[in-house]
A and B are shown apart, each in its own frame.
Chain A
């Protein structure tokens, strides 16, 4: 486990022009990669070059441009799929991870309304298991399913130190469990959850298992098959890719069974006035003109990630993350949410500063050039569970350095004094 050398870091940072911006007269220290990662120039250049030279409709028309665009789109899907260990036809493009989860949730609602297909059809009293650590994106769609179907939400608890165990999930499962929705890593706690064990429990119970992999997608090797889940979701903008695109991965079997949600052109074979036949996945879930440029840009971003090395990035962030945790934990009157004992963490730490509201903490940090996330990070129930309303978060990316961490820790140590609490 080691960090990049200064030379390696410099080469990486040169690829991210935003890092040379200044904020409040200070060089930018970007510690909000967990919200959205910065973009490497090479991918943005390719994306814009593609948009300028190869824009055309995908899957329509026989002219050369359209054929090229179609090929490029298919290639992008294949390379993104390869990055996560998937087959191309198991990867459905969506707007983002939130939409991916909603697609599954809506399919469940549609199936429940007509009682088929059985795997997706819930009845009143069936149960949906979520965890206390979920992002709103992996909670609210299930609340809507519950409201529409009469199913019941069961919530697996985390410990006071933020740890989720398979036992906690098991304890809220029953013979009515039909869906298990869990994140690979909480975006507040940064702790890696035992997803494999949880997915095994869910699949053994015959439930549909949905894994929100947003926070692990570009911080280590994401192998969608390794979870043993039915669905895995992630967003490009947390993987050095563009906004506006994400993915729903599903096993071949579950995607074949899953009912269509959105319909229209590009997803059909035969169309008559009263009925139509649909293409197989992923096309049956991608009606309309697809996200061509975004797919190209995402694929190129991941090519860049591969060129640096996924394992090397993971090792760098983990080592730097441990230093960051150690630096923050040492500051008096700062409380970290979640433990580092006996758990695996990604390079992310959320904390509260006694006597100073996170909004004020974030504003002070911004005045020193540090971009941190403040608020409830779309996880209000988790904050409530941990006894706070909101927090401040530092999160790392491949371009983060020990200087970034040192500057952030030093600034954080001055916050209370600035607000007259020190």
Chain B
């Protein structure tokens, strides 16, 4: 397990850039907490008026470079997706993260998020990478319930 597999330059850049950082009031934020390190992340998914597509991700939180970069990369790659598309996307991301190095994210499907593939070899860090995604899925459920 090479450290550079984990910390690709894209990840270090997104840890600083943090696309989507900053929460606006309203919506249905989901607060997630990682009890092993105390990291926290709050994220709100904004949907189009008809509830079909993801207009924006807004998030704030503190945590390691993996958790911050994962939130930022998700924002960059998944904004504008349909809800159904995002659900599949998140499922694929989770499967790869939990694969212990056996499933790599393809650049074709996941773009810069493919840089997070290495995380799956570092079992202790999978939670960090998933924090924003768990929040997004949760916020999505809350948001869609409000539309029904």
Contacts and interface: CB of A to CB of B under 8 A. Distances in A.
Tell whether A and B belong to one assembly.
yes
Interface in B1-20: 1-3, 6-7, 12, 15-16
Interface string A365-386: 0010000001110001001000
Interface stretch (B24-32, B36-44, B97-105): B36-44
B53 interface: no
Interface string A14-25: 000000000010
Interface stretch (B60-68, B83-91, B139-147): B60-68
Contacts of A126: none
B62 A389 contact: yes
A356 to B, nearest CB: 8
Contacts of B37: 358-359, 374-376, 390
Given A359-B37, A383-B38, A367 B64 contact: no
Interface string A171-210: 0000000000000000000000000000000000000000
Given A359-B125, A363-B3, A419-B12, A375 B36 contact: yes
A357 B63 contact: yes
Contact of B12 (A363, A380, A420): A420
Contact of B122 (A363, A390, A420): A363
A360 B3 contact: no
Question: How many B residues are at the interface, by size bracket?
Answer: 20 to 34
A389 B6 CA distance: 23
A50 interface: no
Interface in A382-397: 383, 389-390
B116 interface: no
A419 B12 CA distance: 7
A420 B12 CA distance: 8
A364 interface: yes
B12 A359 contact: no
B31 to A, nearest CB: 15
A380 B38 contact: yes
Q: What is the interface of chain B mostly: helix, strand, loop, or mixed? A: mixed
A374 B34 CA distance: 13
Contacts of B62: 389
A363 B122 CA distance: 9
Contacts of A364: 3
B47 interface: no
Contacts of A358: 37, 64
Contacts of A419: 7, 12, 15, 65
A374 B122 CA distance: 15
B128 interface: yes
Contacts of B128: 359
Contact of A24 (B1, B38, B39, B65): B1
A359 B66 contact: yes
A111 B15 CA distance: 53
Nearest to A356: B65
A389 B39 contact: yes
Contact of A376 (B2, B6, B38, B63): B38
B125 A363 contact: yes
Contacts of B36: 375
A44 to B, nearest CB: 26
B42 to A, nearest CB: 15
Nearest to A375: B37
Contacts of B12: 419-420
B34 to A, nearest CB: 9
Contacts of A356: 65
B38 A357 contact: no
Contacts of A420: 12, 16
A360 B38 contact: no
Nearest to B65: A360
Contacts of A374: 37
B6 A363 contact: yes
Nearest to A388: B38
A390 B38 contact: yes
With most chain B CB atoms within 10 A of its CB, the pick from A358, A383, A420 is A420
A367 B3 CA distance: 6
Contacts of A383: 38
B1 A357 contact: no
Contacts of B1: 24
A375 B39 CA distance: 9
Nearest to A374: B37
A375 B38 contact: yes
A359 B3 contact: no
Nearest to A357: B64
Interface in A1-43: 24
Interface centre among B1, B37, B66, B125 (most CB of A within 10 A): B37
Interface of A: 24, 356-360, 363-364, 367, 374-376, 380, 383, 389-390, 418-420
Given A357-B64, A389-B38, 15 more contacts: A356-B65, A357-B65, A358-B37, A358-B64, A359-B66, A360-B66, A363-B6, A363-B125, A375-B36, A375-B38, A376-B38, A389-B39, A390-B37, A390-B38, A420-B12
**Which 5 pairs across A and B sit closest by C-beta, in order of nearness?**
A359-B64, A367-B3, A357-B64, A375-B37, A376-B38
